[in-house]
Amino acid sequence: MSVKNILFSVLLLFVPISFAAHFLEWGELAVFITAGLAILPLAAWMGTATEEIAVVVGPILGGLLNATFGNATELIIALIALKSGLVDVVKASITGSIIGNLLLVMGLAMLLGGLRHKEQEFQPVVARVNAASMNLAVIAILVPTTVDITSSGITEATIQNLSIAVAVVLMLVYALTLLFSMKTHSYLYDVGVAETEAEAHTTKPNLLLWVGVLFAATILVAVESEFLVDSLEVATSQLGLTALFTGVILVPIIGNAAEHATAVTVAMKNKMDLSLSVAVGSSLQIALFVAPVLVLVGWFFGQPMDLDFNPFELVAVAVSVLIANSISSDGRSNWLEGTLLLATYTVLGLAFYFHPVIDRIG
């Protein structure tokens, strides 16, 4: 049992503690912190369960399962925040998940991997397809925001309609990227993944057991997300943080902790293809699947969720994609490149910390 597994097992204790904090009314701050800590191991268990089920049901169905459940934690937190009308927090957590995966996770993976291995290599063709997909995602966020800024007297409804149309395009593209990576060009993606699976599985996992785990973990994440979202506004203002900083920096770290651990661990084993597929794949999933789903769900339930972001969030996503693409597109990495990604994350984090107001232009 690895250090990571022991840590996540201990953190499971925060599930009952957070229930106590909520029902015994220990205060919003205590609920926020304990619920946040409780979500970490639950998200990890959801990830493990999804992967184990994927092994049983075969590569195609398993790939689809991973592609839809891979960011289930973020999706659940976002849906509950959306239901509570915290649209700005939802948008901020989308921004933050993309930034966090591209800069923090990929940066740590390249830094720690690069300290052990002088130069690390990965499939440049995959890196470029991913880079182009991330560029499309940036354009999709940029377009509604820029239409809003550059036109006077545009109505909410127009932005909403534009966002829905763009969301549909993004979901189609997401489906096509799955077709590309799992069917027509799967040979580009095979190496790292096959190896790891072969390593991990000597016996076939028990399907029923893991479906049960997935079910239980999903329910608990939903419940804990309720605690987290309900206590968010009071708790963060007690900590002296803005809602923007919380949404962009804190929430995504909670939702992505499991991916962080995986990406860094495999990078240190010099499996950069797998490491990047976790980090960049997670960003792509947020941008091309989770964000569009939230737009459509928000529209369905009458919550005005659109793709019109705060201009500074847009700038942050755009520059993150720019530097991540410029670093990854040659299929090689070293520790300095990891450091540059982390420095960018720090600079953006500082900016979100000092940013005083969410100022919506339009």
Restricted to residues 156-175, the positions that interact with a second copy (CB under 8 A) are 158, 161-162, 165-166, 169-170, 172-173
What is the identity of the amino acid at 354? Answer: F
CB of 141 to a second copy, least distance (A): 10
Residue 121 DSSP class: E
CB of 286 to a second copy, least distance (A): 17
How many residues in total does the chain contain? 362
Between CA 123 and CA 270 the distance in angstroms is 13
- 218 close to 75: Cβ distance less than 8 angstroms: no
For a second copy, the closer of residues 58 and 240 by Cβ is 240
- 237 near a second copy, judged by CB under 8 A: no
For a second copy, the closer of residues 305 and 316 by Cβ is 316
Q: Which of 357, 338, 320 is nearest to 96 (CA)?
A: 320
For a second copy, the closer of residues 50 and 101 by Cβ is 101
Q: Which of 295, 347, 294, 293 is nearest to 320 (CA)?
A: 347
Site for a second copy in 284-313 (CB under 8 A): 310-312
Count of CB atoms situated within 10 Å of the CB of 229? 23
Between CA 321 and CA 135 the distance in angstroms is 7
- 218 close to 72: Cβ distance less than 8 angstroms: yes
CB of 259 to a second copy, least distance (A): 23
Between CA 81 and CA 106 the distance in angstroms is 27
For a second copy, the closer of residues 163 and 218 by Cβ is 163
Count of CB atoms situated within 10 Å of the CB of 238? 13
Stretch that binds a second copy, among 18-26, 74-82, 177-185, 226-234 (CB under 8 A): 177-185
CB of 354 to a second copy, least distance (A): 4
Instruction: Name which position in 2, 3, 58, 152 contacts a second copy (CB under 8 A).
Output: 152
Q: Which of 14, 61, 280 is nearest to 182 (CA)?
A: 61
- 57 near a second copy, judged by CB under 8 A: no
CB of 188 to a second copy, least distance (A): 9
For a second copy, the closer of residues 225 and 277 by Cβ is 277
CB of 35 to a second copy, least distance (A): 30
Site for a second copy in 323-352 (CB under 8 A): 323, 325-327, 329-330, 332, 334-337, 339-340, 343-344, 346-348, 350-351
Element (H, E) at 102: none
Site for a second copy in 80-139 (CB under 8 A): 118-119, 124-125, 128-129, 131-133, 135-136, 138-139
For a second copy, the closer of residues 55 and 188 by Cβ is 188
- 144 near a second copy, judged by CB under 8 A: yes
Q: Is 308 left (phi over 0), alpha (psi -120 to 50) or beta?
A: beta
Spell 259-294 as b/e; 16+ CB within 10 A means b.
bbbbbbbbbbeebbbbbbbbbbbbbbbbbbbbbbbb
Q: How many residues bind a second copy (CB under 8 A)?
A: 71
CB of 182 to a second copy, least distance (A): 12
